[in-house]
Chains A and B, each alone.
Chain A
Amino acid sequence: EVQLVESGGGLVQPGGSLRLSCAASGFTVSSSFLSWVRQAPGKGLEWVSVIYSGGSTYYADSVKGRFTISRHNSKNTIYLQMNSLRAEDTAVYYCARELPGGYFDSWGQGTLVTVSS
């Protein structure tokens, strides 16, 4: 069974940093496409970043230069390093597996990041 479990969320001050983790089971992250998608309170879904099986990474303009996606193959886990956090980064962050057809078939339960002083 495919499962994704996020962790690492919490309260952080503006300008601070946080690293989110997404532990996968039931499949291998190194041969998969994995994305981070966020949802601000009461708002819609926003794609944040993707790491492809070949290692290529892409980011939404809103986080480019501040966030870094990576993976640890032996831990079967992906990460999102978030630096220079802003109030507008406050959201539930989901990791999701993307299948080659371009759709997200499996989602984690999400982890809440709150950026506030």
Chain B
Amino acid sequence: QSVLTQSPSVSGAPGQRVTISCTGSSSNIGAGYDVHWYQQLPGTAPKLLIYINNNRPSGVPDRFSGSKSGTSASLAITGLQGDDEADYYCQSYDSSLSGSVFGTGTKVTVL
């Protein structure tokens, strides 16, 4: 069960900026737990995109950035490119579940 809510889809033209929101509650993001983001291309395993709210692993372009405030977090993609078309998931920890939780997922479409 997903306890982190994301908008189902966002779209933008090449070069534009899009943002993806991730809304949680007082037992996960609101409790101070960090938020992480993953990119999943069709037919492949998820790939870590942002960790601990706003850090990029080596090799991830700086077009991707994350932020967190209160019970929500967001992922921004600037300079949108065709190969950014993918599903994006946020993830955090939930103290009431004693485990990780993922967002519902957002499909990014490049027009």
Contacts and interface: CB of A to CB of B under 8 A. Distances in A.
A95 to B, nearest CB: 10
B64 interface: no
Given A47-B99, A58-B98, A59-B99, A103 B105 contact: no
Interface stretch (B9-17, B19-27, B40-48, B71-79): B40-48
B36 interface: yes
Interface of A: 35, 37, 44-47, 49-50, 58-62, 94, 98-99, 101-105, 107-110
A107 B45 contact: yes
Nearest to B2: A44
Interface in B40-61: 40, 45-48, 51-52, 57
A116 B98 CA distance: 30
A104 B91 contact: yes
Contacts of A47: 91, 99-102
Contact of A101 (B46, B51, B98, B99): B51
A103 B36 contact: yes
Contact of A105 (B48, B93, B97): B48
B40 to A, nearest CB: 8
Contacts of B46: 37, 45, 94, 104, 107
A37 B104 CA distance: 14
